[in-house]
């Protein structure tokens, strides 16, 4: 497994044509994530790892593709990962499902149209102002970063950034606090030239109170003020419904392959 250096990303960029995901853009632009190939001299397949996600590009029928799949967890150090590929190359599904050692399972996701939106700021302000008075909506700082990274439900807010300093200089987010404790948030899971990928989550004890909706609205408002595209992708119907309330458009269901080192 050969890791691609930032200055070599041009060698694999064409292999990921058809994948609109911002995490792929961020890696190819050298911001975050890691890319791997089996053959750097003439790569016909490549792997990008960003947090819990693994993106496969190139020709899925080649020996190089098979190598990347079989050695996936050498590159991705997580216990499990979500495998994503271009809908234009459905053969990746067959290839990923064929490697039994990765314990692959088909899981649907709900795609959101990746485009520039004209968000209704009155709607966004309505979600922000609806936060109950006992809570505090505030921007991420170092303390909130540390809280986020140390909790399973919130670590995806910041885990693609190597440190608090990197996050606070390159990313941003909004959190709802209950007496100083973060209970919900929305953050830049990914940053790239001209845009971000939003990660939204809420502590299970505080769901269904509109807290994540308020955090996401605040994050989207800052993105529009800064001329950034706030990208959204929905792992479940709750996330999809939240996106629609905020003003996003549903693109359609697509397939991912969840893989893990060992079965539960």
What is the residue-averaged pLDDT of the chain?
95
Question: Measured between alpha carbons, how far is 30 from 124 in angstroms, rounded to an integer?
Answer: 32
pLDDT of residue 262: 78
* Domain ranges (residues) in the chain: 2-110+256-260, 121-248
Q: What's the helix, strand, coil split of the chain in %, to 5?
A: 35, 30, 35
Mean pLDDT of 43-55: 94
Mean pLDDT of 167-181: 96
pLDDT band (50, 70, 90) for residue 81: very high
Q: What CA–CA distances, in Å, run from 218 to 40, 54, 101, 132, 146?
A: 43, 29, 42, 15, 20
CATH dotted code for 2-110+256-260? 3.40.630.110
pLDDT band (50, 70, 90) for residue 77: confident
Residue 91 or 76, more confident: 91
pLDDT band (50, 70, 90) for residue 247: very high
Mean pLDDT of 69-91: 93
pLDDT band (50, 70, 90) for residue 264: low
Angle at CA of residue 52, ends 51 and 58, nearest 5°: 90
pLDDT of residue 240: 97
Nearest to 27 by CA among 199, 193, 260: 193
Residue 200, classed as helix, strand or coil, is strand
pLDDT of residue 194: 93
Q: Whole-model pTM?
A: 0.88
pLDDT band (50, 70, 90) for residue 263: low
pLDDT of residue 162: 87
pLDDT of residue 131: 97
Cβ atoms within 10 Å of 208's Cβ, excluding its own? 8
Share of the chain above pLDDT 90, in %: 90
Are 2-110+256-260 and 121-248 equal in CATH topology? yes
Q: Which CATH architecture has domain 121-248?
A: 3-Layer(aba) Sandwich (3.40)
Phi, psi of 203 (to 5 degrees): -55, 135
pLDDT band (50, 70, 90) for residue 18: confident
**Is 90 exceeded by the pLDDT of residue 218?**
yes
Residue 65 or 32, more confident: 65
Mean pLDDT of 2-24: 93
**Is 60 exceeded by the pLDDT of residue 255?**
yes
pLDDT band (50, 70, 90) for residue 51: confident
């Amino acid at each position: 497994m050969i890791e691609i250096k930032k200055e070599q990303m041009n060698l694999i960029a064409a292999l990921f044509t058809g994948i609109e995901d911002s995490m792929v853009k961020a890696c190819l632009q050298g911001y975050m994530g890691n890319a791997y190939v089996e053959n750097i001299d003439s790569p016909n397949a490549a792997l990008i790892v960003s947090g819990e996600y693994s993106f496969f590009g190139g020709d899925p029928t080649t020996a190089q593709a098979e190598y990347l799949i079989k050695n996936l967890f050498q590159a991705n150090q997580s216990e499990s990962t979500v495998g994503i590929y271009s809908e234009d190359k459905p053969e990746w599904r067959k290839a990923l499902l064929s490697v039994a050692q990765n314990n692959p399972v088909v899981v649907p996701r709900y795609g959101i149209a990746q485009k520039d939106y004209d968000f209704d700021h009155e709607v966004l302000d309505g979600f922000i102002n609806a936060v109950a008075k006992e809570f505090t909506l505030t921007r991420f700082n170092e303390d909130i970063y540390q809280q986020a990274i140390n909790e399973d439900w919130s670590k995806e807010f910041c885990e693609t950034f190597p440190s608090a300093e990197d996050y606070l200089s390159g990313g941003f987010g909004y959190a709802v606090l209950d007496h100083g404790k973060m209970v919900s948030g929305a953050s830049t899971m990914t940053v790239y030239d001209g845009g971000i990928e939003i990660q939204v989550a809420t502590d299970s004890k505080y769901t269904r109170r509109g807290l994540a909706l308020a955090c996401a609205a605040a994050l989207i408002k800052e993105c529009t003020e800064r001329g950034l595209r706030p990208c959204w992708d929905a792992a479940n119907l709750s996330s999809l419904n939240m996106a629609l309330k905020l003003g996003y458009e549903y693109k359609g269901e697509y397939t991912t392959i969840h893989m893990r080192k060992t079965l539960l």
